């Protein structure tokens, strides 16, 4: 699939090594984007699979789900006028049971090569995404908008070529960044703005070549970055996972 | 300072309660209890924020995310105090040889921000990740919106309460999820470009729908059946007054999901 190839390219951009088969990393990618985890359900109208994301307001639908086209056909059924007159909150679940099953599949506009997803459009080559709008090459992600090439991300807008980033806007080539805005080529950063080439920065703005909020200069930064990325890539290749994420590094050394 | 903060929070809550009363009037005809009396009901659809304590000031703050126990937090507004604190920290940059040593070297600076309020925002109480928004209470990820409470993810919205994933143009919504360009909605899931919809799901380009599902371009539906204007108005008034009475007496009503699941 095109998305696999893109995952390899983005991993090479971020870690200097192509990580290989994306599916091997799915548990790691979903570990901090839990709402993107798809629960597979069987349609009550056919044998088709329906993908329901793990966000609370989707899971609430329970098992009475069906595919989008099946739901529209199901919508042709109605209750009688007499039943409508007798409806109340106490008996609604029973009286409406013949018409109330619905779909989590919200498919908007034109989509090319997007699969095993729910609530999306227009998209190209997305895989296992939920609430993904105006985006391409997104996988294992939740609520992404106007973005390109994201993996294991949630709540990212105008972002690209990033892995495991959350609640951020305008990130490019970032890894494990959350609550941030306009950052590029940065790793393990929280609540940062206008940063480039930074690692392990917290609550900082406008820095470049910084580690731990301290600007080091290009030479020193690149020397350390090379060592850190090599160890990240080795752990990922060996374990298909990394024990650190942006949420746990604050307590990891304690 | 504390009094000033308490006073401004009080004014903010007053503004949000006023917006809640207006929304209740627009959606259910008014006469509902104050918003905070219905907190349990309004909190049931959106993943909740958690309240933490600032390691800098000891003041409470709101954060969202899978942070492990022992995580240190600070309020978004405490950035200057954080910077002063960090000036004295000693980073072992020269000891970094790999990811493990890097994390040890920077462990002192790892304080996470809650109560993040950015841009031109005002009257924000117990909320985080709020950008260019006004009158926001116990919510997260709110952008370009006003009058939002007990909600997760709202963009370009006005007067949404107890909602999740409220998209552009959602106005006057109570207990609704996955919305877009819709007005006056109550207990709904997936409503796009529609108005005056209650207890319904998968509705696009419709007006005046109650207990209806999987519909496109329809109006005056109850249980997917199209009714005359008089009949619809009569049944709508009966059903909404039942919902209003139940919200007042039991502080809750059955959710749209209970009806879909047939609970």
d(CA A61, CA B259) in angstroms, rounded, equals 9
In a domain, B136, yes or no: yes
Chain B (3-32) residues lying within 8 Å, Cβ to Cβ, of chain A: none
In a domain, B151, yes or no: yes
Å from A156 to nearest chain B CA? Answer: 11
Angle between helices B2-28 and B229-250 (to 10 degrees): 150
pLDDT the model gives residue B9: 85
DSSP-derived pairing of the beta strands A38-42 and A49-53: antiparallel
d(CA B238, CA A220) in angstroms, rounded, equals 72
pLDDT the model gives residue A254: 52
Residue B1 in this model has a pLDDT that exceeds 60:
no
| Token pair belonging to A229 | 């990325």
Three-class SS state of B132: coil
d(CA A91, CA B53) in angstroms, rounded, equals 45
CB-CB under 8 Å, B46 with A106: no
**pTM score of the predicted model:** 0.93
CB-CB under 8 Å, A84 with B111: no
Probe site for chain A from B204, B224, B239, B253 (most A CB atoms < 10 A): B224
Q: Taking the CB of residue B89, how many other CB atoms lie within 10 A of it?
A: 13
Residue of chain A whose alpha carbon sits nearest to that of B129: A179
What sign results for the dihedral spanned by CA atoms B71, A203, A135, A138? negative
In chain B, residues with a C-beta closer than 8 Å to the C-beta of A83 are 223
In a domain, B246, yes or no: yes
CB A31 within 8 Å of CB A141: no
In chain B, residues with a C-beta closer than 8 Å to the C-beta of A55 are 47, 164-165
Residue (of A148, A186, A168, A167) closest to A3 by Cα position: A148
pLDDT digits (tens, 9 = 90+) for B230-252: 999 999 999 999 999 999 999 99
CB-CB under 8 Å, A213 with B76: no
CB-CB under 8 Å, B93 with A224: yes
Residue B5 in this model has a pLDDT that exceeds 80:
no
CB-CB under 8 Å, A167 with B141: yes
In a domain, B102, yes or no: no
In a domain, B106, yes or no: no
In a domain, B149, yes or no: yes
Non-local CB neighbours of B33 within 8 Å, separated by 6+ positions: B247, B248, B251
> What residue numbers bound the domain in which B16 lies?
2-47+132-261
In a domain, B54, yes or no: no
d(CA B12, CA B6) in angstroms, rounded, equals 10
Residue B212 banded pLDDT, cuts 50, 70, 90: very high
In a domain, B74, yes or no: no
pLDDT the model gives residue B258: 96
pLDDT the model gives residue B235: 96
Any idea what DSSP says for residue B54? B
Residue (of B197, B181, B189, B124) closest to B163 by Cα position: B189
- Please give the interface size between A and B, counted as residue pairs whose CB atoms are below 8 Å apart: 228
CB-CB under 8 Å, A212 with B91: yes
> Is B66 within 8 Å of chain A by CB?
yes
Residue B2 in this model has a pLDDT that exceeds 50:
no
CB A85 within 8 Å of CB A97: no
| Token pair belonging to A166 | 């959350």
φ/ψ of residue B233, rounded to 5 = -60, -40
Which residues of chain A carry a pLDDT beneath 50? none
> Is B214 within 8 Å of chain A by CB?
yes
d(CA B236, CA A207) in angstroms, rounded, equals 58
- The more confidently predicted of residues B1 and A94 is A94
pLDDT the model gives residue B3: 57
Domains: count for chain B: 1
CB B242 within 8 Å of CB A89: yes
Residue B4 banded pLDDT, cuts 50, 70, 90: low
3-state secondary structure chain A: CHHHHHHHHHHHHHHCCCCCCHHHHHHHHHCCCHHHCEEEEECCCCCCEEEEECCHHHHCCCCCECCHHHHHHHCCCCCCHHHHHCCCCCCHHHHCCCCCCECCCCECCCEECCECCEEEEEEECCEEEEEEEEEEEEEEEEEEECCEEEECCEEEECCEEEEEEEEEEEEEEEEEEECCEEEEEEEEEECCEEEEEEECCECCECCEEEECCEECCHHHHHHHHHHHHHHHHHHHHHHCCCCCCCCCHHHHCC
Probe site for chain B from A57, A85, A88, A201 (most B CB atoms < 10 A): A57
Three-class SS state of B27: helix
CB-CB under 8 Å, A57 with B45: yes
Å from B67 to nearest chain A CA? Answer: 5
Strand partners, A111: A123
In chain B, residues with a C-beta closer than 8 Å to the C-beta of A228 are 96, 98-99, 102
pLDDT digits (tens, 9 = 90+) for B21-52: 999 999 999 989 999 999 999 999 888 888 99
């Amino acid at each position: 699939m095109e998305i696999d190839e893109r995952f390899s390219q983005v991993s090479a951009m971020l870690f200097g090594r192509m990580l290989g088969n994306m599916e091997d990393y799915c548990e790691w990618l979903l570990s901090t984007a839990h709402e993107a985890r798809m629960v597979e359900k069987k349609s009550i109208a056919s044998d088709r699979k329906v993908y329901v994301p793990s966000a609370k307001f989707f899971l609430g639908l329970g098992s009475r789900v069906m595919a989008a086209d099946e739901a529209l056909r199901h919508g042709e059924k109605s209750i009688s006028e007499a039943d409508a007159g007798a409806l109340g909150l106490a008996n609604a679940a029973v009286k409406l049971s013949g018409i109330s099953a619905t779909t989590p599949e919200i498919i908007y506009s034109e989509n090319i090569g997007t699969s095993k997803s729910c609530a999306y459009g227009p998209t190209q080559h997305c895989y296992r995404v939920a609430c993904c709008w105006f985006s391409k090459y997104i996988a294992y992600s939740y609520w992404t908008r106007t973005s390109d090439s994201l993996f294991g991300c949630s709540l990212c807008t105008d972002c690209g070529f990033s892995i495991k980033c959350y609640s951020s806007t305008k990130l490019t080539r970032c890894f494990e960044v959350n609550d941030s805005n306009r950052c590029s080529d940065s790793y393990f950063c929280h609540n940062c703005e206008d940063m480039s080439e930074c690692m392990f920065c917290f609550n900082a703005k406008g820095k470049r070549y910084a580690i731990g909020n301290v600007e080091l200069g290009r030479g020193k930064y690149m020397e350390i970055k090379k060592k850190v990325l090599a160890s990240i890539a080795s752990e990922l290749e060996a374990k298909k996972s990394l024990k650190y994420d942006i949420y746990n590094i604050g307590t990891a050394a304690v | 300072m504390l009094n000033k903060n308490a006073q401004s929070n009080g004014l903010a809550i007053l503004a949000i309660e006023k917006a809640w009363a207006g929304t209740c009037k627009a959606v259910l005809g008014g006469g509902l209890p104050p918003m905070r009396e219905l907190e349990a009901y309004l909190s049931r659809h959106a993943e909740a924020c958690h309240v933490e304590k600032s390691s800098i000031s000891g003041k409470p703050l709101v954060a969202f995310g899978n942070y492990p126990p022992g995580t240190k937090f600070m309020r978004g507004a405490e950035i200057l105090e954080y910077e002063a604190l960090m000036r004295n920290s000693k980073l072992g940059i020269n000891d970094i040889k790999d990811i493990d040593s890097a994390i040890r070297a920077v462990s002192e600076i790892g304080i996470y921000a809650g109560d993040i309020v950015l841009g031109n925002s005002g009257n924000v109480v117990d909320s985080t990740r709020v950008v260019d928004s006004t009158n926001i209470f116990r919510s997260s990820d709110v952008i370009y919106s006003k009058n939002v409470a007990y909600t997760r993810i709202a963009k370009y919205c006005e007067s949404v309460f107890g909602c999740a994933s409220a998209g552009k143009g959602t106005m006057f919504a109570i207990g609704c999820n996955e919305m877009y360009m819709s007005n006056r909605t109550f207990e709904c899931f997936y409503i796009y470009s529609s108005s005056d919809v209650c207890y319904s799901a998968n509705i696009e380009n419709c007006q005046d729908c109650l207990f209806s599902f999987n519909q496109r371009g329809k109006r005056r539906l109850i249980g997917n059946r199209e009714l005359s204007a008089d009949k619809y108005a009569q049944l709508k008034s009966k059903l909404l007054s039942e919902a209003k009475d139940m919200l007042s007496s039991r502080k809750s009503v059955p959710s749209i999901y209970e009806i879909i699941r047939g609970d």
